[in-house]
Amino acid sequence: MLDRLEQMEQRYRELQTQFALPEVINDHEKYQKAAKALREIEEPVEKYRELKQVRQGLADARAMLAESDPELRELAEVEIAALEPREPALEEELKLLLLPKDPDDEKNVILEIRAGTGGDEASLFAAEVFRMYTRFAEQHRWKVEVMSVSESGVGGYKEVIAIIEGARVYSQLKWESGVHRVQRVPATETQGRVHTSAVTVAVLPEAEEVDIKIEAKDLRIDTFCSSGPGGQSVNTTYSAVRITHLPTNTVVSCQDEKSQIKNREKGMRVLRSRLYEMELERQNAELAKERKSMVGSGDRSEKIRTYNFPQNRLTDHRIGLTLHQLDLIMEGRLQPVVDALIAHYQAEQLKAGSQAA
C-alpha cells in the first residue's frame, strides 16, 4: 500500500507541475484532463501526507522520552497519546480510498418504480416510495425530473420513471434495485388485517452517447396522444412517443412533455441507459456474481427490503439491518440505510482484497 501511495504522491507532484506549462494552460482539453487526474488522487495523497506527518511526530516524541528533562518527557507522552490513535485510523481511511472505484458512481440515474403484487395497495406504496426518493434527492440538492407516469385509479402509481441528476447520485442509490415489500393495513381494509404488497425498483446509471451507440436503423418510433392530466394540448396532439429498439425489443414510452421533440429526447435517455445496463450485465458477469455475494445482485426479482408500518420497522435483508424509524425513512431520511450498505460493500471489498493478497 505504501509503495502505491508513494507513486500516487509522485504522480500528484507531476500533475501540479503540468499546470505551469504553456502547452497545458493554452490547451483546454489537456488542462481538463490533468485537472480530472489530479482530483482523482488528491484525497488519498492528502491523507498519505497526513499519515507521514503523524508517524514523524510519533518518532520525534518517542525520541524525547529518552531526555533527562521530566517536562520534555511529559510533553512527549502527551504528544504520543494524541497521535497514536490517529495512525491506525488514517491507515484504515487510506485502505478505503484505495479500493477500486465504480466508474458509474459519478453518473445521474434513471429511477424506475413499478407496482407489483398487491393491486391498488401496491400502486399506493409505489407512489410513497417515489416520494421517499424525491425527498432524499432534495436533501442532496439533486434534481428530479419525471419522464413518464402511469397512475392507478386510487391515486397511486402503476409505474413511474424519473431522471435524478446531481453529484454522485449513482454512488448513493445503486443498491436500491430490487423488490421492496410493504406490510401494513390498507386504507380499504375493514377488519384491520395486515396485507403484504410489493413494488420493484430499478436504478440505472444514465448512459451518455459515448457509452452506448444506437443506430437510427435499429429504432422504430411511434407517436400517439398523451393520456392522463396535462390539459387539452397534451391530450389531443400526437406528442407522446414510443421508441422500440428492434435488435433487443426494448420499448420506452414518454408522454410527460407537450413537445414531441422533448419526449423523444427524454425517451432516448431512458433507452440508452437500459441498453447500457444490458451491456454491463453481459460484460460483467463475474462482477455481478461478486456483488451478489456482498449485498445482493440488485436484480429486480430479489426481495431486498421490508417496510413494516405497524412496527415502524425497516429491514434490509441483504445486510441484516433493522431500523425502527420507518416514519422518518419514508420522509426521505434514508441516509443511515445508504451508509450501512456502502460500509458493508467496502468491508467486503477489503476482505476480498486481503484474501487475494
Is the Cβ–Cβ distance between 243 and 252 less than 8 Å?
Answer: yes
Please give the model's pTM, rounded to 2 decimal places.
0.66
- Name which residue leads in pLDDT, 357 or 83: 83
What pLDDT, on the 0 to 100 scale, is given for residue 274? 86
What pLDDT, on the 0 to 100 scale, is given for residue 209? 63
Q: At 93, is the pLDDT very low, low, confident or very high (cuts 50, 70, 90)?
A: confident
| 261-299 pLDDT, tens digit each | 888 888 888 888 888 888 777 766 654 554 444 344 444
Residue 355 lies in a domain: no
Tell me the three state secondary structure of residue 82: helix
Co-location of 249 and 328 in the same domain: no
Q: How far is C-alpha 64 from the geometric centre of its chain's CA atoms?
A: 49
State which amino acid sits at residue 345: Y
Is the pLDDT confidence value at 232 over 80? no
What does the alpha-carbon distance between residue 124 and residue 95 come to, in Å, rounded to a whole number?
Answer: 43
Min mean pLDDT across 91-95, 123-127, 132-136, 194-198 is at 91-95
Q: At 30, is the pLDDT very low, low, confident or very high (cuts 50, 70, 90)?
A: confident
Residue 234 lies in a domain: yes
What does the alpha-carbon distance between residue 220 and residue 150 come to, in Å, rounded to a whole number?
Answer: 22
Is the pLDDT confidence value at 336 over 90? yes
Q: Is the dihedral of CA 311, 316, 317, 322 positive or negative?
A: negative
Is the pLDDT confidence value at 74 over 60? yes
Q: Name the domain count of the chain.
A: 3
State which amino acid sits at residue 269: R
Co-location of 151 and 185 in the same domain: yes
Q: What CATH number is given to the structural domain containing 189?
A: 3.30.70.1660
Co-location of 327 and 260 in the same domain: no
Co-location of 162 and 304 in the same domain: yes
Single residue among 281, 309, 336 that ends a domain in this structure: 281
State which amino acid sits at residue 97: L
Side-by-side strand order, sheet with 219-224: 219-224, 240-245, 250-254
Co-location of 63 and 160 in the same domain: no
- Mean pLDDT in residue range 72-82: 92
Single residue among 281, 297, 324 that ends a domain in this structure: 281
- Name which residue leads in pLDDT, 110 or 280: 110
What pLDDT, on the 0 to 100 scale, is given for residue 356? 52
Co-location of 200 and 300 in the same domain: yes
| 158-173 pLDDT, tens digit each | 999 999 999 889 999 9
Residue 357 lies in a domain: no
Is the pLDDT confidence value at 82 over 90? yes
Co-location of 273 and 176 in the same domain: no
Cell of 101: 472505484
